[in-house]
Structure 1
Amino acid sequence: MAGSVLLVVALTGCILSFEDELTSVFFVKEQQVVPKGDKLSVDSLLSIAKTASPKKKIFRMILPSEPYRSVKATFGSKKLGYDYLYINPYSGEILSEGKENKRFFAVVLNLHRFLLAGSVGKTITGISCAITFFMTISGLYLWWPKNRKVLKQRIMVKQNASFKRTNWDLHAVGGFYVMIFLFIITLTGLIWSYDWIETLMFKLADGKTSKPEMVMQKVDKAKKIDGLYSKIVMESNSIYLHQGDLSINFPDKKDKPILVSKENGEDVVKTVDQIYFDNRTGAVISKRPFASLTLGNQIRKLNKPIHTGSIFGWPTKLLAFIVSFLTASLPITGLLIYLGRGKKKKKISVV
């Protein structure tokens, strides 16, 4: 059971390693635009998005830093589901729209995390992740060689060997090379799967559970200023000067501020800085640059890029792909080892 789940999770992990790159290739008509003149203001783009989906509440808008990429608007909520729009930021043309959970990579992610089975699937993948985590530790114990001669056999696949020996080598040697990375991937998966593990991580890193407090604002009757979101974007870019995609999270209640997150595309590690703005005046309420967070919160913010391999860009994405591919092979080679054990024939004694 755990082996079959591991196979599915590992193969979908291979695909998700290059989600951003593959999305821009497979869906080029909605993802890329031809720059013509100046971009429309953020408030104009927001108005276009709301006109296209008048009955739905906007949740987020993503403004890419590259001039050739489209703007994405998301509507709905976690409970009700999300719809999406891709907009040409120069002409305002709607390039595509639909249900977020119907998109190819959303389905792959659903399969990866929930096996397309909701909370039941989440429980199964969580248990399988825990089993895999402990298997990496026990596997190292079983792999550990008794002497140097055996060590050579454990780190290299023997050439011109029988199928049975080659299969065993692929399982033992391949498992060894992915062991450290698989340990990290499964550990980050466990932080996602179990709240108590996340809490334990915070306690080990910070000495206490130290999730950031929710930022709220005073509710007043002040009128929204004109060009509110254009002002907010300009302010965000003046505070965080680095290049990077910028996303605006719109409040669902009057006492919640606008949250702006900006990726740091210039740093080696892909981090995100945040700012909270008053939802009527655009005044800055709170700044939360990544560097100011506690160690526990920094680790939690980096949990996804570590898990997916995007933390250092292409090199770690490629590494995550290779590790996922080799991990997918382990249940197969392990099953072949089990089936190929054979039974030693008992000697028949003649009286």
Structure 2
Amino acid sequence: MASEGWNGCRNCGCHVLLQVYQKAPMTPTDKLIYKFHRIFGLVGGLFILMLSLTGCILLFDNAIDGLLNPDTVAVQPGPQRQPYDKAIATLKQHYPDAQLRNLVLYSSQPNRALRADVQKGKQRLWAYVNPYTGTFLGERDAERAFVRQVRQLHEHLLMPPVGDWILFVVGLCLVGSVLTGTWYYRKSLLSVFKIGVRWNKPKRLVYGDLHKYLGVVALLFLLIIGATGTFFHWEHIERSLGGGPRRPGPGEARPPVAMVASVDALLAKSASNVPGFVADVVNFPDEPGKPLVVRGNGADANPFLGKFTSSVEFDAQSGDVTKVFRAGEADVEYKVEHVFEELHFGRFGGVATKVLYFVLALCMTVVTATGLLVWWVKR
């Protein structure tokens, strides 16, 4: 039974909930842990709500983008794809002075158009070409695309690097909230499944029941998302401080780099260098002397080692292979980083894990919201 001397939530009747779950009197350590649990939840609460909701969107970003832009993104599959060189020629015709950054092939999605990332002066565009006819379908501002705005909000709060620092703290709060909550209810975690959610009780008790029930259901998920998210935000911070490879900023203009080699020939060479290789993205050199890189997955692809587990680099002028990379042969740091990435984004099991992550992310939303509601009632 909860200690009669602790009045933190007796005024609203929440002590009844604690009496049900907490069999032994609360120790000073328990009170301190609970205080930290509440602080972590309050500091990170609204941000975690935003992150869980935007995370739900990002799980299905490609599908959502297709639904929002059917005229440019969706195509009617034909009997055979045209050579990719034809699509590149079409793009060069439309953007003679622009830099082609990459071409997304969507090899496993026959009803989707090719998407080119084009840098036109300071403007970044997504341009679409029908892979079956080679015809130009249209363009849009990449920075204003809904799914990209959601990703920028999720990863940077739309204001890097300040947003990276804020979200790093939020990630620590989520991890701290999970750990302190687990410690506080350590002796009664499984009792939540016996007690369930008492819907016929006052709202404050319903909020508390939901908070603990879904918190236990999604416990491992919350810890994984918090730990991996914190890791990635620290990487963003390191990069902004000059501790990692620099990425071109939005709207950064670069002169076009001439390319002689045939992309179709390079794709064929990629397949001959990586057994069972399916190309997904062609990254074009953004500076003279940089390689052209074909990324995709081979027959031995491990879904926990990244979205693309193989790549082949070429000299963009001669078409000679300069490097073949396989994630399975990479160092431990690379593997750990990409395992974290797949665990965070839920891509490792295809649609099944995305649906599971969607459900668990909704659980995280409810856990956060009910935690804030319990605090609001108690205040």
TM-score of the two chains, using structure 2 as the length reference: 0.75
Paired residue type of 1:75: V
Q: Report Cα offsets for 1:51-105 as digits up to 9, x if no partner.
A: 212232111011221433211110129x956311010022222222111111111
Paired residue type of 1:50: K
In the TM superposition, residue 118 of structure 1 has moved relative to its aligned partner by 3.2
Match of 2:100 among 46, 49, 58: 58
Q: Does 1:32 align with 2:32?
A: no
Work out the CA distance in 2 between the residues paired with 1:129 and 1:154: 28
Paired residue type of 1:300: E
Work out the CA distance in 2 between the residues paired with 1:57 and 1:307: 32
In the TM superposition, residue 273 of structure 1 has moved relative to its aligned partner by 0.5
Number of equivalences: 317
Work out the CA distance in 1 between the residues paired with 2:135 and 2:333: 42
Work out the CA distance in 2 between the residues paired with 1:52 and 1:265: 36
Q: Does 1:259 align with 2:279?
A: no
Residue of structure 1 in register with 2:283 after alignment: 249
Distance 1:255 1:333, change over 3 A: same
Q: Does 1:272 align with 2:309?
A: yes
Q: Does 1:47 align with 2:86?
A: no
Q: Does 1:183 align with 2:223?
A: yes
Work out the CA distance in 1 between the residues paired with 2:244 and 2:146: 36
Distance 1:138 1:295, change over 3 A: same
Equivalences for residues 179-218 of structure 1 within 5 A: 179-195=219-235
Percent identity between the two aligned chains: 23
User: Structure 1: which 5+ residue stretches go unaligned?
Assistant: 200-208, 212-222, 343-351
8 Å contact from structure 1 (residues 309, 317) kept in 2? yes
Q: Does 1:138 align with 2:180?
A: yes
Work out the CA distance in 2 between the residues paired with 1:328 and 1:268: 31
Residue of structure 2 in register with 1:14 after alignment: 56
Distance 1:131 1:80, change over 3 A: farther
In the TM superposition, residue 265 of structure 1 has moved relative to its aligned partner by 8.3
Work out the CA distance in 2 between the residues paired with 1:170 and 1:326: 9
8 Å contact from structure 2 (residues 197, 213) kept in 1? no
8 Å contact from structure 1 (residues 62, 245) kept in 2? no
Paired residue type of 1:164: R
Residue of structure 2 in register with 1:320 after alignment: 357
Residue of structure 2 in register with 1:219 after alignment: none
Q: Report Cα offsets for 1:193-212 as digits up to 9, x if no partner.
A: 1139999xxxxxxxxx999x
Q: Secondary structure at the match of 1:22?
A: helix
Work out the CA distance in 1 between the residues paired with 2:238 and 2:356: 25
In the TM superposition, residue 245 of structure 1 has moved relative to its aligned partner by 4.5
Work out the CA distance in 2 between the residues paired with 1:246 and 1:151: 45
User: Structure 2: which 5+ residue stretches go unaligned?
Assistant: 1-42, 246-257
Residue of structure 2 in register with 1:115 after alignment: 157
Deviates more, 1:289-298 or 1:333-342: 333-342
Paired residue type of 2:117: T
Distance 1:197 1:179, change over 3 A: farther
8 Å contact from structure 1 (residues 192, 198) kept in 2? no
Q: Secondary structure at the match of 1:12?
A: helix
